[in-house]
Chain A
Amino acid sequence: MSENKLKQMTVFFAIWLVVGLLLGMAFKEQTRIRTAELPSARLPDLARAYVQEKRSNAALEEEIRQLRQRINELENAFASGTKQAQVLNQSLQEAKMIAGLLEVEGPGIELTLQDSKKRPSGESPELLPELYTIHDYDLLRVVNELRQAGAEAISINGQRIVSTTGIRCTGPVVFVNDVKMASPFVVLAIGDPKTLVGALEMPGGALADLKSVDPKMVQIRRLDTVRIPAYSGSTQFRYARPIMTEGEQTP
């Protein structure tokens, strides 16, 4: 075998080797993309992970509740000391009350909103199916109306409405405080029951549209005592920082 022939063979081998490498890499890459697009094989895993996350979420929320309760106890114990501490604690509890971090009770109402069992009937096909379900905007209008009527605390399905609460539809569910929920929605509010009911039943008000579609979608009860849970979500501020005027100290 001549030297030239050997060189040719080496080149030939090298090129085919590189072609093989390229092909192998391309094949692997395409397989990876295809499997990434079809996660159906991993669905059981995902479902299991989801259930686990949900469970640990519930456990953590319970822990938050207990810890906050413990903080309250400690604050009260601390306050029993000096006069100064008592004053401090009082204003602290007031601030927490406003922020919705305390469980509260008092007279109020219970409003239940649920999807209608009626379906769009033949004689009125222009009434879209959307009208028969409760949406985020219904809840938003109700919350707004209740606040306007002097409600001091509001919750939807056990989620306390605070200043950072968002209420939004995502597909068939509504997120309140990042917690998923669906019909029926039980809205609790503390305030003067008469004023609250009056505000809700105002002609052309928040519930008028729902009632005109199906009166059964709306139920209002006046209650002597309503218990509304504390806000259990995050109270961390990631972006906002308080601005300190002179004389004050950073916390």
Chain B
Amino acid sequence: MIAVGFVGLLLGVVIASLLLDIPLPEEWAAYLSLAALAGLDTAFGGWRAALEGRFHADVFVSGFIVNALLAAMLAYLGDRIGVDLFLAAVVTLGGRMFLNLSLIRRYYLNQLALRRQRG
């Protein structure tokens, strides 16, 4: 399942950088980056959920869409009212990504330890 995810990620990056050529207004670049960050966060969340056996497709998909849009919209709102709200999104998403990644790392370390004990 994880391997499938990485294949998807790689394929997406390749398609976006080689095949797709959508000219976006420069002001959108920041929002696009933020949406990508939110998407990455959700993807890591899904990974962790899958490892813990709590993966639900509907939660995953809705979380992905809502988080990405919300992050971009917050950043846009912040720009309009002169508050760097995108920082809030970056801090929250970044923090959560680290948390999820550390839990993922722990899971694999535990697995390794278990295998050693058995072996």
Q: Is A29 an interface residue when CB atoms closer than 8 A count as contact?
A: yes
Q: Interface residue count for B (Cβ, 8 Å)?
A: 37
Q: Interface residue count for A (Cβ, 8 Å)?
A: 24
Residues 160-198 of A contacting B (Cβ, < 8 Å): none
Q: Is A72 an interface residue when CB atoms closer than 8 A count as contact?
A: no
Beyond the given pairs A15-B8, A33-B26, 7 more chain A to chain B contacts, judged by CB atoms under 8 angstroms and listed by A's residue number, are A8-B50, A19-B8, A20-B11, A23-B16, A24-B15, A25-B16, A29-B32
Q: Are A16 and B17 in contact (CB under 8 A)?
A: no
Q: Is A13 an interface residue when CB atoms closer than 8 A count as contact?
A: yes
Within 8 Å CB of B6, what residues of A?
16
Q: Is B95 an interface residue when CB atoms closer than 8 A count as contact?
A: no
Q: Is B93 an interface residue when CB atoms closer than 8 A count as contact?
A: no
Q: Is A98 an interface residue when CB atoms closer than 8 A count as contact?
A: no
Q: Is A14 an interface residue when CB atoms closer than 8 A count as contact?
A: yes
Q: Is A92 an interface residue when CB atoms closer than 8 A count as contact?
A: no
Question: Which residues in A have some Cβ–Cβ distance to B below 8 Å?
Answer: 7-9, 11-30, 33
Within 8 Å CB of A28, what residues of B?
16-17
Knowing A18-B12, A23-B12, the reply to whether A8 touches B64 (Cβ < 8 A) is: no
Q: Are B61 and A24 in contact (CB under 8 A)?
A: no
Within 8 Å CB of A14, what residues of B?
8
Knowing A17-B9, A25-B16, the reply to whether A9 touches B43 (Cβ < 8 A) is: no
Q: Are B12 and A19 in contact (CB under 8 A)?
A: yes
Question: Which residues in B have some Cβ–Cβ distance to A below 8 Å?
Answer: 1, 4-17, 20, 22, 24, 26, 28-29, 32-33, 35-36, 39-40, 42-43, 46, 50, 55, 57, 60-61, 64, 68
Q: Are B5 and A11 in contact (CB under 8 A)?
A: no
Find the B residue at minimum CB distance from A30.
Answer: B29
Q: Are A13 and B7 in contact (CB under 8 A)?
A: yes
Find the A residue at minimum CB distance from B2.
Answer: A12
Q: Are B43 and A19 in contact (CB under 8 A)?
A: yes
